[in-house]
């Protein structure tokens, strides 16, 4: 009873303070509707032809939706239970890709929003502190220098063997994290500042990208180059439940932390000195929030590669609708990110069917002009 | 005006001013030396500096005399090379970050905020040190914000966006934020510098009223010595990072001070009230 009382008070307070408003709820519902609709389109078309009705019936097939064994298989990779062919294709091939897109979209949008506040720079993207170039370089190193090296680690019972290519997502995330720490190290001089962080990011990005380009010259196989390019432009082709399993936990953690840290982000936007005089440990908060954003960004990179432009644009789109209060902005990003990336991936997969293009190409080609349109239309575009 | 009732005993730091009136100090700097990490040059070097409790103290001095640096040192934004700063007898280092922010509010010279934030939301940020990480707004927060908006005289602007306000209104909105912090000591760094005359008075009157109503201790950096002389209970005059003089304005503000510290020739009149009439700049090589 006590808790019910306090809950009621909390929601009342939130409304009193005017951030949990009707337009935020409406925005989130609209984004969810777009996500669901685009997802349904995505599962309805493909190489295996079925009618829209058949596809949707497969999506809502109660034998799968309410089947614990099926969910166990999706979530933990156990044996799939018996299901009809259409359900199998929808549930095992097409739908997980939608989920991956949603997770990646939310992660990138939230990550971009955090970095825009941490660096107090409206042009910041999830990749501003070096994650993308660090991840890209590791991917190229893995593909070009150690292609498909099988590492065997002898254990007490048998040997543990793995292939470097199968570790690509984790290596990419690791490379991204190392680059981020490097950037922080370069920027640190008795403390950091937004400008120094951005500059250090530019430096590390430049060096790593040059190394990356250099490595392309050592790739002697077109296949290697293509798969490296797919990584660097960002692609959801071939993603499945394995990627959902890989990404869902870190993405959820990062998003929850971002929502919880929204007020800290608001205070950071008031400037370093004000934040400090309000009793915030600015360096610590900044590093931890950057860490959250890096977690989100490297999760996205690990499953989808480096999807450009997305994490920069989505927070701006949300800001135009919902304003710059981060309590609203972060929640808006959690809903708008999935909607926009699922839509973009529909384009990437179906526009030039049967050829699939990397979704990063779509976000760049469509997102760029759209951003330009917003910029021309909005007087105060870019204001944090 | 400077005579304060110092009869009740307490363990606060005490000092006597030039009229031998005992003064209790809210903030004391002892053997304080300040410099910036990027250079070895000592910017501020004062043997002892007092901010008397419950009074308005103005820090005056020419550009580059270390006023803002001193304020950073007093608010623990800049770690001293030597000496310490005490708040009611306790070193500011011994306060936690948030505890210090509940005791001592600071307003910087220039403040930037997202243009779309409302005045009310800005004031709510002043409650930051009073709230835990997951705590939501309490009644105490709401009351504090209401009081702050009222005292700063920006109630009617509560839903206006800060970016749309005039310079004076913006400064008052920021003052509302510091007031919502509900501190016993306020340090204000040149709150009037970029304002027109009307708004300068408005800001200073707000601070004055606040001091009278809540007995808050105020230390304010002002670069206009004439204004400071009329407005403050005590003056602290700084020259080249060192304390030149300290005390009630009638004692501190002299023609000698204006020549030594500010490098201007001026007439100072004490009747009917303290008035500073600057005449001309003295040659730079007078030393």
CA nearest to A122, candidates A367, A296, A370, A316: A316
Model pLDDT for residues B66-82, shown as the tens digit of each residue: 888 888 888 888 888 88
When pLDDT is cut at 50, 70 and 90, the band that residue A107 belongs to is very high
Say what the pLDDT of residue A380 is: 62
Q: Of A17, A190, A324, which is closest to B37 when you measure between CB atoms?
A: A190
Q: Cα separations (Å) of A11 from A14, A17, B145?
A: 5, 10, 19
Angle at CA B61, nearest 5°, toward B55 and B64?
130
Say what the pLDDT of residue A102 is: 95
Here the tokens at position A1 are: 């009873």
The residue with tokens 């016993």 is B184
Chain pair A-B, CB pairs under 8 angstroms: 75
Residue A338 and residue A35 in contact, taking contact as beta carbons nearer than 8 Å: yes
Say what the pLDDT of residue B1 is: 36
Phi/psi zone of residue B88: left (φ > 0), alpha (ψ -120 to 50 degrees), beta?
A: left
Q: Of B111, B136, B142, which is closest to A274 when you measure between CB atoms?
A: B111
The residue with tokens 């009157």 is B205
The most confident of A142-156, A160-174, B48-62, by mean pLDDT: B48-62
Model confidence at A27: pLDDT above 80: yes
- The CATH number of the domain holding residue B228 is 3.40.50.300
Say what the pLDDT of residue A330 is: 94
> For residue A123, which phi and psi values (nearest 5 degrees)?
-95, 10
Phi/psi zone of residue B21: left (φ > 0), alpha (ψ -120 to 50 degrees), beta?
A: beta
State which fold the A21-377 domain adopts.
ABC transporter involved in vitamin B12 uptake, BtuC (1.10.3470)
Q: Cα separations (Å) of B231 from A129, A218, B219, B247?
A: 48, 74, 12, 13
Say what the pLDDT of residue A75 is: 81
**Exposed/middle/buried for A301, CB within 10 Å: 0-12, 13-18, 19+?**
buried
Model pLDDT for residues A266-290, shown as the tens digit of each residue: 998 888 888 888 888 888 998 899 8
Q: Tell me how crowded residue A66 is: count the other CB atoms within 10 A of its CB.
A: 9
| Three-state DSSP string of A143-158 | HHHCCCCEEEEECCCC
Peptide bond preceding A354 in cis form (omega within 30 of 0): yes
Peptide bond preceding B64 in cis form (omega within 30 of 0): no
Q: Closest Cα of chain B to A257: distance in Å?
A: 11
Model confidence at A149: pLDDT above 80: no
Distance between CA B148 and CA B125 in Å, rounded? 12
Say what the pLDDT of residue A9 is: 41
When pLDDT is cut at 50, 70 and 90, the band that residue A108 belongs to is very high
Say what the pLDDT of residue B11 is: 41
Map residue A174 onto helix, strand or coil. helix
With beta carbons under 8 A apart, name residues in chain B contacting A10: 136
Residue B159: HSE in the Cβ half-sphere, 13 Å Cα cutoff: 3
Q: Closest Cα of chain B to A52: distance in Å?
A: 45
Q: Of A14, A273, A324, which is closest to B77 when you measure between CB atoms?
A: A273
Cβ contact (<8 Å) for A383 and B111?
A: no
State pTM to two decimals.
0.84
Q: Of B75, B111, B133, which is closest to A271 when you measure between CB atoms?
A: B111
CA nearest to A94, candidates A235, A240, A230, A234: A240
Model pLDDT for residues A206-225, shown as the tens digit of each residue: 999 899 888 888 877 888 88
Model pLDDT for residues A316-348, shown as the tens digit of each residue: 889 888 888 898 999 999 999 999 999 999 999
Say what the pLDDT of residue A207 is: 92
Say what the pLDDT of residue A156 is: 64
Sign of the alpha-carbon dihedral angle for A228, A231, A235, A239: positive
For chain B, what percentages of helix, strand and coil (3-state, to nearest 5) are there? 35, 30, 35
- Number of structural domains, chain B? 1
Cβ contact (<8 Å) for B129 and A380?
A: no
B1, part of any domain:
no
Q: Of B112, B116, B128, which is closest to A279 when you measure between CB atoms?
A: B128
Angle at CA B216, nearest 5°, toward B78 and B11?
80
Which residue positions in chain B have pLDDT lower than 70? Answer: 1-23, 285-287
Distance between CA B11 and CA B27 in Å, rounded? 13
With beta carbons under 8 A apart, name residues in chain A contacting B142: 16
Average pLDDT over residues A125-150: 81
CB within 8 Å of chain A, chain B residues 25-44: 37
Assess B128–A contact: CB distance below 8 Å, yes or no: yes
Buried b (16+ CB within 10 A) or exposed e, B194-208: ebeeebbbbbbebbb
Angle at CA A277, nearest 5°, toward A190 and A316?
85
* Neighbour order of strands in the sheet with B234-239: B104-107, B185-189, B217-221, B56-60, B234-239, B242-247
B168, part of any domain:
yes
Buried b (16+ CB within 10 A) or exposed e, A272-288: bbbbbbbbbebeebbee
Model pLDDT for residues A232-249, shown as the tens digit of each residue: 888 888 888 888 888 888
Distance between CA B131 and CA B114 in Å, rounded? 22
B60, part of any domain:
yes
Model confidence at A382: pLDDT above 60: no
Model confidence at A4: pLDDT above 50: no
Residue A358 and residue A231 in contact, taking contact as beta carbons nearer than 8 Å: no
Q: Of A263, A277, A324, which is closest to B114 when you measure between CB atoms?
A: A324
CA nearest to B50, candidates B41, B59, B63, B42: B59
> DSSP characters for B79-121?
--SEEEEEETTEEGGGS-HHHHHHHEEEE-SS----TT-BHHH
CA nearest to A101, candidates A284, A351, A348, A326: A348
Map residue B277 onto helix, strand or coil. strand
Model confidence at A14: pLDDT above 70: no
Buried b (16+ CB within 10 A) or exposed e, B104-117: bbbbbeebebbebb
Beta bridge partners of A90: none
B5, part of any domain:
no
B86, part of any domain:
yes
Distance between CA B204 and CA B206 in Å, rounded? 5
Distance between CA A297 and CA A291 in Å, rounded? 10
Model confidence at A125: pLDDT above 90: no
Interstrand relation of B104-107 and B185-189 (parallel, antiparallel or unpaired): parallel
Map residue B240 onto helix, strand or coil. coil
Here the tokens at position A32 are: 């969810």
Model pLDDT for residues A352-380, shown as the tens digit of each residue: 877 888 898 998 888 888 878 877 876 66
Range of the domain at B57: 13-286
Distance between CA B231 and CA A52 in Å, rounded? 78
Interstrand relation of B82-87 and B22-35 (parallel, antiparallel or unpaired): antiparallel
B222, part of any domain:
yes
Strand boundaries in chain B, DSSP class E? 13-16, 22-35, 42-52, 56-60, 82-87, 90-91, 104-107, 185-189, 217-221, 234-239, 242-247, 264-269, 275-281
Say what the pLDDT of residue A160 is: 60
Distance between CA A244 and CA A227 in Å, rounded? 20
With beta carbons under 8 A apart, name residues in chain A contacting B108: 271, 273-274, 277
Say what the pLDDT of residue A113 is: 94
Map residue B267 onto helix, strand or coil. strand
Non-local (6+) Cβ contacts of B110 within 8 A are B194
Say what the pLDDT of residue A34 is: 94
With beta carbons under 8 A apart, name residues in chain A contacting B102: 279
Say what the pLDDT of residue A256 is: 94
The residue with tokens 């960002």 is A234
Q: Closest Cα of chain A to B78: distance in Å?
A: 11
For chain A, what percentages of helix, strand and coil (3-state, to nearest 5) are there? 75, 5, 25
B2, part of any domain:
no
With beta carbons under 8 A apart, name residues in chain A contacting B126: 278
Say what the pLDDT of residue B100 is: 86
Assess B108–A contact: CB distance below 8 Å, yes or no: yes
Here the tokens at position B60 are: 């005056």
């Amino acid at each position: 009873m006590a808790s019910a009382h306090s809950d009621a008070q909390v929601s009342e307070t939130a409304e009193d303070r005017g951030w949990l408003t009707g337009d935020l709820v409406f925005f989130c519902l609209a984004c969810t509707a777009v996500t669901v609709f685009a997802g349904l389109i995505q599962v309805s078309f493909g190489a295996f032809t079925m009618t829209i009705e058949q596809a949707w019936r497969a999506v809502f097939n109660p034998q799968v939706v309410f089947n614990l064994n099926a969910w166990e298989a999706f979530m933990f990779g156990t044996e799939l239970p018996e299901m009809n062919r259409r359900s199998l294709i929808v549930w095992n091939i097409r739908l997980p890709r939608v989920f991956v897109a949603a997770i990646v979209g939310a992660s990138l949008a939230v990550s971009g929003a955090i970095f825009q506040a941490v660096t107090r720079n409206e042009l910041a993207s999830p990749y501003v502190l070096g994650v993308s170039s660090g991840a890209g370089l590791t991917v190229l190193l893995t593909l070009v220098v150690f292609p498909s090296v099988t590492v065997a680690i002898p254990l007490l019972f048998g040997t543990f063997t793995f292939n470097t290519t199968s570790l690509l997502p984790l290596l990419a995330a690791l490379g991204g994290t190392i680059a981020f720490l490097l950037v922080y190290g370069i920027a640190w001089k008795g403390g950091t500042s937004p400008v120094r962080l951005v500059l250090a990011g530019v430096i590390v990005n430049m060096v790593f990208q040059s190394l990356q380009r250099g490595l392309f010259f050592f790739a002697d196989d077109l296949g290697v180059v293509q798969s490296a390019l797919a990584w660097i432009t960002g692609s959801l082709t071939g993603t499945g439940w394995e990627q959902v399993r890989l990404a869902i936990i870190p993405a959820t953690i990062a998003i929850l932390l971002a929502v919880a840290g929204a007020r800290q982000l608001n205070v950071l936007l008031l400037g370093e000195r004000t934040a400090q005089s309000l009793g915030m440990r600015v360096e610590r908060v900044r590093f931890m929030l950057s860490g959250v954003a890096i977690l989100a960004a490297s999760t996205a990179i690990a499953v989808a590669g480096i999807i450009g432009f997305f994490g920069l644009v989505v927070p701006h789109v949300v800001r135009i609708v919902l304003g710059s209060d981060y309590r609203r902005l972060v929640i808006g990003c959690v809903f708008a990110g999935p909607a926009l990336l699922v839509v973009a991936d529909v384009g990437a997969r179906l526009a030039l069917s049967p050829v699939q293009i990397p979704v990063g190409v779509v976000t760049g080609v469509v997102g760029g002009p759209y951003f330009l349109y917003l910029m021309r239309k909005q007087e105060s575009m870019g204001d944090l | 005006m400077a005579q304060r009732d110092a009869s009740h005993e307490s363990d606060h730091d005490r000092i006597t001013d030039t009229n031998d009136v005992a003064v209790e100090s809210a903030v004391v700097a002892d053997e304080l030396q300040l410099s910036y990490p990027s250079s070895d040059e000592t910017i501020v070097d004062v043997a002892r500096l007092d901010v008397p409790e419950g009074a308005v103290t103005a820090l005056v001095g020419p550009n580059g005399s270390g006023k803002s640096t001193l304020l950073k040192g007093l608010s623990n934004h800049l770690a001293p090379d030597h000496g310490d700063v005490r708040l009611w007898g306790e070193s500011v280092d011994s306060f936690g970050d948030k505890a210090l922010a509940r005791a001592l509010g600071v307003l910087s010279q220039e403040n930037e905020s997202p243009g779309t934030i409302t005045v009310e939301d800005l004031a709510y940020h002043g409650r930051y040190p009073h709230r835990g990480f997951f705590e939501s707004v309490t009644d105490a927060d709401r009351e504090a914000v209401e009081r702050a908006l009222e005292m700063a005289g920006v109630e009617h602007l509560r839903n206006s966006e800060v970016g749309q306000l005039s310079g004076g209104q913006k400064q008052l909105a920021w003052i509302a934020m510091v007031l919502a912090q509900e501190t016993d000591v306020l340090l204000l760094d040149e709150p009037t510098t970029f304002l027109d005359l009307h708004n300068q008075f408005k800001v200073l009157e707000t601070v004055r009223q606040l001091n009278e109503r809540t007995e808050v201790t105020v230390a304010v950096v002002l670069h206009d010595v004439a204004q400071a002389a009329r407005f403050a209970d005590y003056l602290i005059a700084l020259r080249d990072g060192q304390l030149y003089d300290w005390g009630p304005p009638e004692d501190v503000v002299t023609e000698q001070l204006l020549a030594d510290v500010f490098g201007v020739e001026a007439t100072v009149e004490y009747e009917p009230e303290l008035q500073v009439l600057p005449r001309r700049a003295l040659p730079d090589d007078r030393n």
